[in-house]
Amino acid sequence: MVTVRIGVIGTGAIGTEHIRRVEQRLSGGKVVAVTDISLDAARRCINALQLDARLYDSEDDLLQDPSIDAVIIASSGPAHEGSVLKAIDAGKYVFVEKPLATTVNGCLRIVQAEERTGKRLIQVGFMRRYDPRYMALKSEIKSGRYGAPLIVRCVHRNAHVDERYTTEMAVLDTLIHEIDVIRWLIGDEYVSVQVLYPRGTRYAHARLQDPQIFNLVTQSGVVITAEVFVNCQYGYDIQCEVVCEDGVISITVPKLLDIFRTGFRAQPLMQDWKLRFAEAYDAELQDFIDHVGRGDEPAGPSSVDGYIATLVGEACVLAQVSGEWVTIPRPEEDLIVKDSLGYGRL
Ligand SMILES: NC(=O)C1=CN([C@@H]2O[C@H](COP(=O)(O)OP(=O)(O)OC[C@H]3O[C@@H](n4cnc5c(N)ncnc54)[C@H](O)[C@@H]3O)[C@@H](O)[C@H]2O)C=CC1
Ligand SMILES: O=C1[C@H](O)[C@H](O)[C@@H](O)[C@H](O)[C@H]1O
């Protein structure tokens, strides 16, 4: 096992978190280079984490460094396609935050470019597949003890978002986690989607519909109701309940503490994704580093998973605009075959 030398493109919120975990918590990896479209952001990250890493003026320069084995792409979503394609061209392994790309065609360009190399290079940051609660939920469903899944109810609530967050971002920035993790949980593909807009909260800015309810149907007829509410005020609340023929299985809200005081019992709630999914982020990146360090191909969520998530996401955006039920195109047949052969399946 060699130490995987990592370059990071995008040193914002999650980029900095990923660098911190590689440097301070995980094994087998070292961040040796960083870049960001804002060099100040990259310098702040190097200083804050006291990194022994080279600052590159651009991703092009970073990707030309032959000593770099792999890159973590944690820039803003619209930038992912270009960076991933350049990284594939430079022969680097790639861990890319979701979404793989913000358009279906962009995802297909990536899948085809990766395929031309003859090996798997990409892992997508769908970390919920590595969350102990989602893993336990999947294991219970797969056991068959509860019969077939019939209905899935999800809640994805953030306390607040800022003015940059738009109605459409509720899909490729937020709901995309449910889109990926539910198809992984129940092993089924989506066929249609409808969006409902309940009465809007006064806390949402003028250009944001909030909350939103996404109703999705799968090939086997499972109905998924996913609530996205990004100004819920009280905290970061991620829920998932699977109703099966012989029982109901749901993910519990993680308990930090039980606080007792006169007349009250309270449990503090997590306020954002960093803490709620800390174990999952560590596990997904450790998995990536372990595979690359052994000379194996990444085995986590694949470029095909990223393509399918954006394909479904595009249909969700159409449903947001039309207010009608939208048919979700079937993923390209050969890609499904490849994916069904365990390509990127955990
Ligand atoms: N898996 C998860 O739970 C989470 C995933 N994300 C994803 O991670 C990505 C980044 O999100 P945040 O860190 O919250 O955003 P952020 O805005 O805090 O950071 C993005 C960084 O990328 C840089 N950047 C933008 N365009 C660039 C380009 N073309 N080249 C290089 N750097 C560029 C920006 O200057 C900024 O420093 C997004 O795709 C987001 O969806 C974010 C939060 C949680
Ligand atoms: O990927 C993420 C985070 O994991 C949160 O769940 C979302 O609410 C956020 O919008 C997104 O960036």
**Using one digit for the tens of pLDDT, what is the confidence trace for 237-252?**
999 999 999 999 999 8
Write down the number of H helices and E strands in the chain: 12, 15
**What pLDDT band is residue 336 in, cutting at 50, 70 and 90?**
low
pLDDT in tens, 215-238: 999 999 999 999 999 999 999 999
- Does residue 337 register a pLDDT over 70? no
Q: Which residues line ligand 2 (CB under 6 A)?
A: 158, 173-174, 177, 273
Output the pLDDT for position 254: 87
Q: To test ligand 2's pocket by mutation, which of 177, 181, 277 has the most ligand atoms within 8 angstroms of CB? A: 177
Looking at the DSSP assignment, which residues form a beta bridge with residue 154?
A: 226, 240
Overall average pLDDT of the 50-60 stretch = 98
What is the distance in A from the centroid of ligand 1 to the CA of 199? Answer: 30
Overall average pLDDT of the 307-335 stretch = 92
Identify the structural domains of the chain with CATH numbers, from first to last.
4-128+279-302+333-338 (3.40.50.720), 132-274+309-327 (3.30.360.10)
Output the pLDDT for position 224: 98
**What pLDDT band is residue 255 in, cutting at 50, 70 and 90?**
confident
Output the pLDDT for position 346: 38
**What pLDDT band is residue 335 in, cutting at 50, 70 and 90?**
low
Q: To test ligand 1's pocket by mutation, which of 76, 103, 172, 285 has the most ligand atoms within 8 angstroms of CB? A: 76
Output the pLDDT for position 165: 96
Q: Is 98 in the pocket of ligand 1 (CB under 6 A)?
A: yes
- Does residue 341 register a pLDDT over 80? no
- Does residue 343 register a pLDDT over 80? no
- Does residue 342 register a pLDDT over 60? no
3-state secondary structure string across 168-207: CHHHHHHHHHHHHHHHHHHCCCEEEEEEECCCCCCCCCCC
Residues 6+ apart with CB under 8 A from 197: 209, 212, 213
Percent of the chain with pLDDT over 70: 96
222 and 151 Cβ atoms separated by less than 8 Å? yes
Overall average pLDDT of the 4-8 stretch = 98
What is the distance in A from the centroid of ligand 2 to the CA of 245? Answer: 31
- Does residue 339 register a pLDDT over 60? no
**Position 147: which residue type?**
G
Q: What mean pLDDT value characterizes the chain?
A: 95
Overall average pLDDT of the 169-196 stretch = 97
Overall average pLDDT of the 59-86 stretch = 98
- Does residue 334 register a pLDDT over 80? no
3 and 10 Cβ atoms separated by less than 8 Å? no
Output the pLDDT for position 214: 98
Residue 58: closest CA among 30, 98, 90: 90
Output the pLDDT for position 252: 82
Which ligand 1 atom is at minimum distance from the Cα of 42?
Answer: 37
- Does residue 333 register a pLDDT over 90? no
In this prediction the pTM is: 0.96
**Position 262: which residue type?**
T
Percent of the chain with pLDDT over 90: 93
Overall average pLDDT of the 301-307 stretch = 96
Q: Which ligand is nearest to the CA of 17?
A: 1
What is the distance in A from the centroid of ligand 2 to the CA of 254? Answer: 17
Output the pLDDT for position 345: 41
- Does residue 275 register a pLDDT over 80? yes
Q: Which ligand is nearest to the CA of 127?
A: 1
Output the pLDDT for position 283: 98
Long-range contacts of 172-175 (CB under 8 A, 24+ apart): 172/77, 172/98, 172/99, 172/102, 172/310, 172/313, 172/317, 173/77, 174/228, 174/230, 175/214, 175/226, 175/228, 175/313, 175/316
Tell me the C-alpha distance between 346 and 338, whole Å: 14
Q: Is 235 in the pocket of ligand 1 (CB under 6 A)?
A: no
What is the distance in A from the centroid of ligand 1 to the CA of 98? Answer: 9
